[in-house]
Amino acid sequence: MLKVALCDDDSGFIKKYAEFISQIAEKNQLKVMISSFGSGEALLFHYADAPDQIDILYLDILMKETDGMETARKLRDCGCKAQIVFLTSCEDYVYDAFDVDAVQYLLKDDTSFAKFEQVFLRAAKMASITEEELFTFDFGGETGVIPIRQISYFEIWQRLVTVHYGNGQTAKFYDRMDRLEERLRGKDFVRSHRSFLVHLPHIAMFRHQSLLLKTGQEVPVGATYMQALKRTFSDYVARFHVYGPQNGKERGAEK
């Protein structure tokens, strides 16, 4: 059974989207248990001791006291692995949603039932995957294992690969860049330089000839890679971005 939580200080919206979820569940023969909360504080109080008891979480952003973004951060800090969908009337925080690994950022007035259903079913599928994707490698007779989501980038020098992950941690192993790219195909890694392979969710900002990552690290961007890198990142953002009219805002502007 999927455990779904709705958090919004407008009871009318909670009722509307709870009905949407019930209809989608019945149509797709899914069993769901829906709970609702009128504030971030109420949600955090309920799940403080059991943050793993949510499979899918719908969060409004603009709420009194603890807003939706801060609520999501606190839940993640507690170890919550729920699939978070921001469902709000404000577009201003879309890029902040990357930091809490949200599935989608939806605008209430611009989200049709069909789009809501599409996102819900994707979140449900992701929630059903219980094992975290891992990257494994061998070096010096030992096998290393790193969660892929923690990897910020790879760099290679004469076949010696350094993987950067977590909070400034590194590990080394031997491989070729083309083989590494093939292994990670479809997992949002892209070349920024002949010697660097970057994980798109970790990009914070494009600079003139480099990328600033959320870890504070900076990686070079080769001139021949810049345009393709920007296109790939733009496509990545578009997959995640607000559903509805765009207002021309662009993340990662050069400085």
What Rg do the C-alpha atoms of the chain give, in angstroms? 20
CATH of the domain at 30: 3.40.50.2300
Q: How many CB atoms lie within 10 A of CB 137?
A: 18
Structural tokens at position 211: 């990328």
Determine, yes or no, domain membership for 162: yes
Q: What percent of the chain has pLDDT over 70?
A: 91
CA distance 89 to 50: 29
Structural tokens at position 113: 């039932």
Contacts (Cβ under 8 Å, ≥6 apart) of 205: 211, 212, 252, 253, 255
For residues 70 and 22, membership in a common domain is answered with yes
Determine, yes or no, domain membership for 244: no
Determine, yes or no, domain membership for 45: yes
For residues 118 and 138, membership in a common domain is answered with no
Considering 113, 128, 143, which residue would you say is the last residue of a domain?
Answer: 128
Q: Are 245 and 89 in contact (CB under 8 A)?
A: no
For residues 65 and 174, membership in a common domain is answered with no
Residue 129's pLDDT is: 67
User: Is 73 exposed, middle or buried (CB count within 10 Å of its CB: 0-12, 13-18, 19+)?
Assistant: middle
Range of the domain at 141: 134-232
Distance of CA 52 to the CA centre of its chain: 17
Considering 101, 128, 155, which residue would you say is the last residue of a domain?
Answer: 128
How many domains does the chain fold into? 2
Q: Could you report the per-residue pLDDT of 8-38, keeping only the tens digit for each?
A: 999 999 999 999 999 999 999 998 989 999 9
Q: Could you report the per-residue pLDDT of 38-70, keeping only the tens digit for each?
A: 999 999 988 877 777 889 999 999 888 888 899
Q: Are strands 169-174 and 189-193 parallel, antiparallel or unpaired?
A: unpaired
Secondary structure (3-state) at 244: coil
CA distance 9 to 39: 6
Determine, yes or no, domain membership for 243: no
Considering 82, 99, 128, which residue would you say is the last residue of a domain?
Answer: 128
Determine, yes or no, domain membership for 102: yes
Determine, yes or no, domain membership for 12: yes
For residues 113 and 83, membership in a common domain is answered with yes
For residues 14 and 105, membership in a common domain is answered with yes
For residues 8 and 103, membership in a common domain is answered with yes
For residues 155 and 106, membership in a common domain is answered with no
Structural tokens at position 201: 């969710």
For residues 77 and 182, membership in a common domain is answered with no
pLDDT in tens, the chain (255 residues): 888 999 999 999 999 999 999 999 999 999 898 999 999 999 998 887 777 788 999 999 988 888 889 999 999 888 888 999 999 888 887 878 878 888 889 998 888 999 999 999 999 988 876 446 789 999 888 899 998 989 999 999 989 999 999 888 999 999 999 999 999 988 889 999 999 999 998 999 999 899 999 899 999 999 999 999 999 998 887 665 444 333 333 334 443
CATH of the domain at 149: 2.40.50.1020
Determine, yes or no, domain membership for 51: yes
List the alpha helices (DSSP H) in the chain: 11-27, 40-47, 68-77, 113-128, 177-183, 226-240
For residues 164 and 203, membership in a common domain is answered with yes
